[in-house]
Amino acid sequence: MIEQLKKLFAAPEPQAQKPDAHQLAIASTALMLQLSRIDRDQDDRELQTIIECAVAEHQVSRDEAEAILEDALSHADDATSLYEFTGQINEHFDQEAKQALLVNIWQVAFADGRIDKYEEHLIRRMAELLHLNHREYMQARHSAEAKRQQ
């Protein structure tokens, strides 16, 4: 009885705070940034592609996209795994939004004109962590290639 009264008058447990749009943009940008670093040759074309994707995907200005990139750079240095970012994305993005993110990730990979074997492996791993199947992985790659040729 006493335990039930304690529970009744106890402070409500804090609910997990839902990340805002800026935090989700940072998570998305951080994944693209991780890809740009995987081949140990972070190219300016890749960084510009990340900014362009942030502008298009998150409906922000170029200045805001650059600020998001700076935030992502600081978070990426502290990140211990991709799960930090993919966890947030899986929780708050639907399949279509996750596939659009994968298209953006492929665009970053194509930005320097070549796909490194480490880049391809990391993109496959990201797709798995985002719960995207092989068909969605390949569709994202083909979409990014088509955008590149335009």
Q: Tell me, what CATH number does 126's domain have?
A: 1.10.3680.10
In a domain, 12, yes or no: no
- Host domain of residue 28: 22-149
CA 25 to chain centre: 7
Of these ranges, 36-40, 53-57, 75-79, 137-141, the one predicted with the greatest mean pLDDT is: 137-141
What does the pLDDT look like over 99-137, one tens digit per residue? 999 999 999 999 988 888 999 999 999 999 999 999 999
3-state helix, strand, coil in the chain (%, to 5): 75, 0, 25
Q: Is residue 16 part of a domain?
A: no
- Sequence-distant (6+) residues with CB within 8 A of 120 are 109
What is the average pLDDT across 29-58? 86
Q: How far is CA 123 from CA 36, 65, 99, in A?
A: 11, 22, 12
Determine, yes or no, domain membership for 103: yes
Count of domains forming the chain: 1
**In angstroms, what CA-CA distances link 120 with 44, 59, 62?**
19, 28, 28
The whole model's pTM is what? Answer: 0.80
pLDDT exceeds cutoff 80 at 4? no
